[in-house]
Amino acid sequence: MIVDSPAEDIHFYYLSASGGCMRERTLKKLEEMNQAAEEGGGKGKIEEQHKKGKLTARERVAQLLDPGTFQELDKFVTHRATEFGMEKNRPLGDGVVTGYGMINGRLVYLFSHDFTVLGGSLGEAFGKKVVKVMDLAMKNGAPIIGLNDSGGARIQEGASSLAGYSEIFFRNTLASGVVPQISAALGPSAGGAVYSPALTDFIVMVKGTGSMFVTGPEVVKAALGQDISFEELGGAEVHARKSGVAHFITSNEQECFSLLRDLLSYLPQNNSELPPTLKTKDPPERVEKSLREIIPDDANKAYDVREIVKKVVDDARLLEVHANWAENVFVGFARMDGESVGVVANQPLFLSGALDSTASVKAARFVRFCDAFNIPIVTIVDVPGYMPGADEEHSGVIRHGSKLLFAYCEATVPKVTVITRKAYGGAYCAMGSKFSRADINYAWPEAEIAVMGPEGAVNVIFRKEIEGAADKEATRKALLKDYRETITNPYFAASRGIIDDVIDPAVTRPKLISALTSLRKKKEFRPHKKHGNIQL
């Protein structure tokens, strides 16, 4: 070949030619490495995963995130174990997919267990990958999402596996109250694999495939001689209805991802930001006359408090949390004039809306989450008191009930309360009262605020008068009427500033929105301390 160029040009030509070949080889190697990593445990394992009704780790990430936004990290990481023949099996990625992407255009960090690789078990390298994205999430102020499908600690790596879990637990604790942490149980989560989700803010479980337990059915059989299935021991229904471990349950993975996206839309990116505002066509001044008729004439008759909540929030749209556990209290997210709010409400359909141990824990945890992430709290009160009885006393209703008091008193976000019917005793104090530092307290005209219900109060205060009366029933009714007119009606509380205003039920929505708008720049401080000592 004749080249009409100086010597340096000829030298450059040969370098470029050899460089091109090298570049081709390195790019081919990169392609092969990517393909190997993306195949996970191989086609056979992927088919097994699909037969169980489960997606693969990467399919899950693709469905959850905005299209084309996922940026994977540590794709080529492998474990370093050599025991039990592990040196012969070093899959790329080590059983977990990690990285970041967008949900509704907002940054999130996530990890997705790959059950096709070593059963999604956690070893040293796996743990370090998860810890890396958790650290990045905290540095960048973005939510952390964990898609869980794991057999637990990798037995072959022994203490290194336990160290990996412990590092994750530590990060969960550091991130608590700093960035939202959300877990989805899409397959088994066993042993150490359950405690990281338990340390996060919300857990979503998929029926039929998601399960969580500290010790699995085989261990239960060996230790206790009991035969029990995965679903019976730690399935979605069990944890959503009995244990309260799961905040949400879904029918399939697609529904789970849709719920995760919806949940995040109510939450800020971190504790120094406000939740996103969404435009609404629902007028803030909307009057809802049907609220005047929603409370039954019979004071002991139940109704669904969700109907009140739906009528005052934007577009009647709610995202209920813990819908199947401790149903005597409602908690969930909604919007008012486009702004996120957390709603806590007594639910008369169950236990007459009385507070018990589980309801107190449920509401307290929700209030603390809202306070941590700058979400105003709207409280709807119709509470006859704390649940009486030996069972409740022995289960620790005093200890658990105090958690709700602690949560409301500790919270410094805007707090607005509406008493609709009953507000009796210590339960009233716990439900966003003026004494737990609610900012604005409203009452409907028929609300009753007292130490106890009028019937009980009259029987205690006027026992001798009633017993000595010729017509005991007539006397009791007259005393009851007088007690209601002088003590329990909302105007008595309003005369002492305990209630800020008695309102027409029809204007509840505009009153709430006006109050929340006025409180947007609220600043309230508590004494400096390392942390409080809530009754855990």
In this structure, which amino acid lies at residue 362? K
How many structural domains comprise the chain?
2
- Based on the fold, state whether residues 316 and 171 are members of the same structural domain: no
DSSP structural state of residue 271: T
% of the chain residues with pLDDT over 70: 96
pLDDT value of position 400: 95
- Based on the fold, state whether residues 301 and 231 are members of the same structural domain: no
Spell out the residues 6+ positions from residue 281 whose beta carbon is closer than 8 angstroms to its own.
Answer: 315
Q: Which helix (H) or strand (E) element contains residue 234?
A: helix 230-234
- Based on the fold, state whether residues 221 and 315 are members of the same structural domain: no
pLDDT value of position 12: 44
- Based on the fold, state whether residues 261 and 202 are members of the same structural domain: yes
- Taking only the tens place, the pLDDT of each residue in 463-488 is 888 778 788 788 878 887 888 878 88
DSSP structural state of residue 97: E
- Based on the fold, state whether residues 166 and 232 are members of the same structural domain: yes
- pLDDT (mean) for 438-452: 94
Q: Which domain holds residue 385?
A: 289-447+489-518
Please determine, for residue 5, whether its predicted confidence score (pLDDT) is greater than 90: no
- Based on the fold, state whether residues 313 and 246 are members of the same structural domain: no
Q: Is residue 528 part of a domain?
A: no
CATH of the domain at 426: 3.90.226.10
- Based on the fold, state whether residues 220 and 91 are members of the same structural domain: yes
- Taking only the tens place, the pLDDT of each residue in 77-127 is 988 877 877 777 788 989 999 999 999 999 999 999 999 998 888 999 999
Q: In the structure encoding, which two tokens stand for residue 491, read together?
A: 């105007």
In this structure, which amino acid lies at residue 465? E
Please determine, for residue 10, whether its predicted confidence score (pLDDT) is greater than 50: no
- Per-position DSSP letters for 459-490, written without gaps between them: HHHTHHHHHH-SSHHHHHHHHHHHHIIIIISH
- Taking only the tens place, the pLDDT of each residue in 367-391 is 999 999 999 999 999 999 999 999 9
Please determine, for residue 15, whether its predicted confidence score (pLDDT) is greater than 80: no
Catalytic residues: 191-192, 426-427
Q: Is residue 28 part of a domain?
A: no
CA distance 182 to 201: 6
- Based on the fold, state whether residues 260 and 298 are members of the same structural domain: no
Residue 383, CB half-sphere, CA atoms under 13 Å: how many?
A: 32
Q: Is residue 280 part of a domain?
A: no
Q: Is residue 84 part of a domain?
A: yes
Domain C-terminal end among 265, 281, 310? 265
pTM: predicted TM-score of the whole model, two decimal places: 0.92
pLDDT value of position 14: 45
Residue 314 sits at the vertex; the CA angle it makes with 311 and 316, to the nearest 5 degrees, is: 45
Q: If we measure between CA atoms, which residue out of 314, 391, 387 comes closest to residue 353?
A: 387
User: What is the chain's mean pLDDT, rounded?
Assistant: 91
- Taking only the tens place, the pLDDT of each residue in 338-370 is 999 999 999 999 999 999 999 999 999 999 999
DSSP structural state of residue 440: E
Phi, psi of 64 (to 5 degrees): -80, -45
Computed from CA positions of residues 196, 199, 201, 203, in that sequence, does the dihedral angle turn out positive or negative?
positive
Q: What is the dihedral of CA 201, 203, 204, 210, to 10 degrees?
A: 160
- Based on the fold, state whether residues 81 and 225 are members of the same structural domain: yes
In which residue are the tokens 């002088």 written?
486
pLDDT value of position 152: 84
- Taking only the tens place, the pLDDT of each residue in 195-245 is 999 999 999 999 999 999 988 888 888 899 899 988 899 999 999 999 999
- Based on the fold, state whether residues 221 and 74 are members of the same structural domain: yes
- Based on the fold, state whether residues 385 and 246 are members of the same structural domain: no
- Taking only the tens place, the pLDDT of each residue in 264-292 is 999 999 999 999 999 999 999 999 999 99
CA distance 231 to 158: 28
Q: Is residue 30 part of a domain?
A: no
